[in-house]
Structure 1
Amino acid sequence: MRKIIHVDMDAFFASVEQHDNPKLKGKPVIVGGLSGRGVVSTCSYEARKYGIHSAMPMYMAKTLCPHGVFLPVRFERYREVSKKVFDILYEITNIVEPLSIDEAYLDVTDIDKNPEDIAKEIKEKVYMTTGLTVSAGVSYNKFLAKIASDWNKPDGLMVISEDMVPDILRPLSVSKVYGIGEKSSERLKKIGIEKVDDLLKLSEEELTNIFGKYGKEIYDRIRGIDLRPVETYRETKSIGKETTLKKDTDDIDLLSKYLKRFSKIISSELKEERLYCRTVTVKIKTSHFTVHTKSRTLNEYIDSPEDIYNVATAILKESKISQPVRLIGLSVSNLSRNKIKQLSLFDSEIRKNIKIDKIVYEVNKKLGGYFVKKGSDI
């Protein structure tokens, strides 16, 4: 039987802020966008008592807890602390699946040691190294380990063994089941299904009718069956950045400035992960909350802030903005770890191998150049 540990830092961003400034300990700390349209990224457990949670609009958090300590996000500092935590995890095993900056699975099946003792060791080392607490869950699959780590936060440790399932899951909300999102939870609630116990009364066929092809997975999962492996490499599908503006605007120059800043951030992340992108997407949400996205897929892979910005601004200028913009975002996808060099027709070496008449040459020149591999025919 597998031995899986799920570790999750407690209120990570807020905990880092409280650690760096001891005067904040015991106070309701809310970290996120501080503009009128910002949202909460993380809040301390003291703030959660007021009903504040992540993704909540910042103005609402300030209404619920006007005496709270509101702080901006410091990503560089959080990355620094996160690296220390993950260094500890990799000292235990190489089979680590990062889920986010503050969360991961470990497969310790092949380690000749009680997994609960390993979890205790992780908790102790993280605290000694960073001064922060981590909650850990131990079980024989990923789903149950995740449930366990959330059981008695903060600074919790829970073990779910095979004999405890499914009874331990019965009182849990269906939203705790991996694969059931917010919309599905609401849909289930409307037909009187709110707890896992309610799901357990449904047949596999009934769950398939509700969830489609995922029905069987959910049927198995709530019975303690989850065969997903701990994946040591999680492929990055896209990298992006967006922001809600302080004031709605149709000023292209101002929107371009945001795209320039996003391009630098995205380029930095691409280079950090040694990735290149081929598709650039600009997202716009208007004052009427209508979302528009437009993408451009290139013939070559790029990673520089200048290239990303040039494509993004071209997309923006082509977009017909009929309403003021409330939110603007930029993302890149179609990622690769290899920069496939696709050379221009005008590369001197290629021209030796490609016959092209003057008319095609001039048209191609005006269009900025097609990209073809050496030796290709037109």
Structure 2
Amino acid sequence: MVLSSARHITHMDLDTFFVSVECLRNPKLKGKPVLIGGMSDRGVVASCSYEARKFGIHSGMAMKIAKRLCSHAHVVKSDYEAYSKYSRLVTDVIKDSVPLYEKASIDEFYIDLTGMDKFFGCLKYSDELKKKIVKESGLSISYALASNKLVSKVATNEVKPNGQLEIPFGNEKTFLSPLSIMKIPGIGKETGYRLLKMGVETVKTLSEIPVNMLYNLLGKWGIELHRKANGIDETPVIPYREQKSIGTEETFTTDTIDVKLLHQELVRMTEKIAFELRSQEKLTGCVVVKIRYSDFQTEQKQMTIDYTAFDDILIQKVKELFTGLYTKRQLIRLIGVRFTDLISGTHQIDMFNDSQEAIKLHQAMDSIKKQFGQQYLMRASACMDNKNITHAPKPYKT
């Protein structure tokens, strides 16, 4: 195991990522309160600008409440395709520049520069990497360099936006001590409330509580929390791995039991992510369908299939899964489709099932979609009145 004193971990975090992307696409939004998310009152805020945060708005807040807090805010519909594009761009820059990195989320990275201090100086190298990312992407990014992931992440949050900071080895506890306990990753509202009731407000106070007392209070998490409060974290930087799944979810404006509408939306969603599969030259070997009822109970069902990226096959499997899953006949709030077990490759022609006409048809449809956009070509069975849709299907990848 590499000793903590030998580690140099840089945490990089793109500042208000979704907002920054939208400001690149529309410079008129710069310096203004911006809300990213669903356009209807049932939507939520996916991200907001620093100008909007001054009004008490935060990610996860209902859009209806956010617009009340800042009536003059600019509301922009989420475009996850654009965010994924810029995320991949930044990922490629980091991939080409460092020996080991972990992509913690769409806009957050851990970089292990251990050993590079002998040649370049880790702080200088981190600064050069930041400048390269800004130059090639146009996005603002903050970073912190420390001896472990925990301290580097907390430090990055302290210097955002567009900041940089180094916490030298041995200064971890000194840096963390004056901060609020809520700055420690993993302390949620419930744990935070319990600690605050005990008069534990700062990390310094938390670090001085005997580990046995924290264990009695919080179980094994109490032991981990004691280590965090003392700046101890041996978690390794986990190498970035290829995408494992692709999916999309849809929240309805009004909870529905209309099976025809649900089938139409499933077809439309499946077409959308199947096209993205083919665009990435990938195939899926497993289909997952999810439904969330009006009481927020969530269920899902999956099916292993022969590797494919063809709409006809995937739509059939999605419908079969939905039919087997939707047995309660209760109102549905959300439906989702996800493809997992992804591999690189293109569809192999099945001589018993795929006709030459079908192959050419898919190729022609994809060509039109790439040239003019997916929204201009879809199956008639996917056409529907969108009044009951909160927003366009939201793709996500893991």
Structure 2 letter corresponding to 1:105: Y
Whether the 8 Å contact between 2:42 and 2:64 is mirrored in structure 1 is yes
Structure 2 letter corresponding to 1:317: T
Identity level (%):
37
> Hey, what's the Cα distance between the residues in 1 that align with 2:31 and 2:344?
48
Whether the 8 Å contact between 1:281 and 1:312 is mirrored in structure 2 is yes
Where do 1:125-204 residues align within 5 Å?
Answer: 125-204=132-211
Which residue matches 2:291? 283
The structure-2 alpha-carbon separation of the partners of 1:299 and 1:321, relative to structure 1 and needing over 3 Å to count, comes to same
* Deviations, residues 207-247 of structure 1 (Å, cap 9, x unaligned): 33344334333322222221111111347665443232122
* Deviations, residues 49-100 of structure 1 (Å, cap 9, x unaligned): 1111111111111111111111112223223322332232123213111112
Which residue matches 2:222? 215
Whether the 8 Å contact between 2:291 and 2:300 is mirrored in structure 1 is yes
CA-CA distance at 1:10 after TM superposition: 0.7
**Cα root mean square deviation, aligned:** 3.0
CA-CA distance at 1:278 after TM superposition: 3.0
User: Is 1:107–2:115 an aligned residue pair?
Assistant: no
Structure 1 letter corresponding to 2:333: R
Structure 2 letter corresponding to 1:164: N
CA-CA distance at 1:275 after TM superposition: 6.3
The structure-2 alpha-carbon separation of the partners of 1:207 and 1:322, relative to structure 1 and needing over 3 Å to count, comes to same
Which residue matches 2:268? 261
Whether the 8 Å contact between 2:287 and 2:305 is mirrored in structure 1 is no
Find 2:21's aligned residue among 4, 11, 16. Answer: 16
> Hey, what's the Cα distance between the residues in 2 that align with 1:274 and 1:280?
17
CA-CA distance at 1:305 after TM superposition: 4.5
> Hey, what's the Cα distance between the residues in 2 that align with 1:210 and 1:297?
42
Whether the 8 Å contact between 2:283 and 2:309 is mirrored in structure 1 is yes
> Hey, what's the Cα distance between the residues in 1 that align with 2:171 and 2:215?
26
Which residue matches 2:50? 45
Secondary structure of 1:151's counterpart equals helix
> Hey, what's the Cα distance between the residues in 2 that align with 1:240 and 1:172?
38
> Hey, what's the Cα distance between the residues in 2 that align with 1:242 and 1:146?
30
Which residue matches 1:376? none
Whether the 8 Å contact between 1:239 and 1:331 is mirrored in structure 2 is yes
CA-CA distance at 1:336 after TM superposition: 5.8
TM-score (norm 1): 0.79
> Hey, what's the Cα distance between the residues in 2 that align with 1:305 and 1:197?
57
> Hey, what's the Cα distance between the residues in 2 that align with 1:179 and 1:44?
24
Whether the 8 Å contact between 1:31 and 1:41 is mirrored in structure 2 is yes
Where do 1:291-370 residues align within 5 Å?
Answer: 291-298=297-304, 304-318=310-324, 319-333=326-340, 335=341, 337=343
Whether the 8 Å contact between 1:40 and 1:58 is mirrored in structure 2 is yes
> Hey, what's the Cα distance between the residues in 2 that align with 1:206 and 1:234?
39
Secondary structure of 2:20's counterpart equals helix
Secondary structure of 1:150's counterpart equals helix
Find 1:92's aligned residue among 93, 97, 122. Answer: 97
Secondary structure of 1:6's counterpart equals strand
Structure 1 stretch displaced more, 315-324 or 268-277: 268-277
* Number of corresponding residues: 340
Secondary structure of 1:92's counterpart equals coil
Structure 1 letter corresponding to 2:62: P
The structure-2 alpha-carbon separation of the partners of 1:238 and 1:218, relative to structure 1 and needing over 3 Å to count, comes to farther
CA-CA distance at 1:40 after TM superposition: 1.2
Whether the 8 Å contact between 1:278 and 1:302 is mirrored in structure 2 is no
Structure 2 letter corresponding to 1:36: D
> Hey, what's the Cα distance between the residues in 2 that align with 1:16 and 1:278?
32
* Deviations, residues 247-266 of structure 1 (Å, cap 9, x unaligned): 22111121223322333444
The structure-2 alpha-carbon separation of the partners of 1:204 and 1:259, relative to structure 1 and needing over 3 Å to count, comes to farther
Larger relative contact order (Cα-Cα within 8 Å, sequence gap ≥ 6): 2
Whether the 8 Å contact between 1:252 and 1:317 is mirrored in structure 2 is no
> Hey, what's the Cα distance between the residues in 1 that align with 2:216 and 2:243?
32
> Hey, what's the Cα distance between the residues in 2 that align with 1:74 and 1:266?
14
User: Is 1:26–2:31 an aligned residue pair?
Assistant: yes
| Structure 2 gap segments, 5+ residues each | 1-5, 346-351, 353-398
> Hey, what's the Cα distance between the residues in 2 that align with 1:107 and 1:14?
28
User: Is 1:232–2:239 an aligned residue pair?
Assistant: yes
> Hey, what's the Cα distance between the residues in 1 that align with 2:105 and 2:309?
22
The structure-2 alpha-carbon separation of the partners of 1:128 and 1:299, relative to structure 1 and needing over 3 Å to count, comes to closer
Structure 2 letter corresponding to 1:161: P
Secondary structure of 2:89's counterpart equals helix
Q: Quick check: which has more Rg, 1 or 2?
A: 1
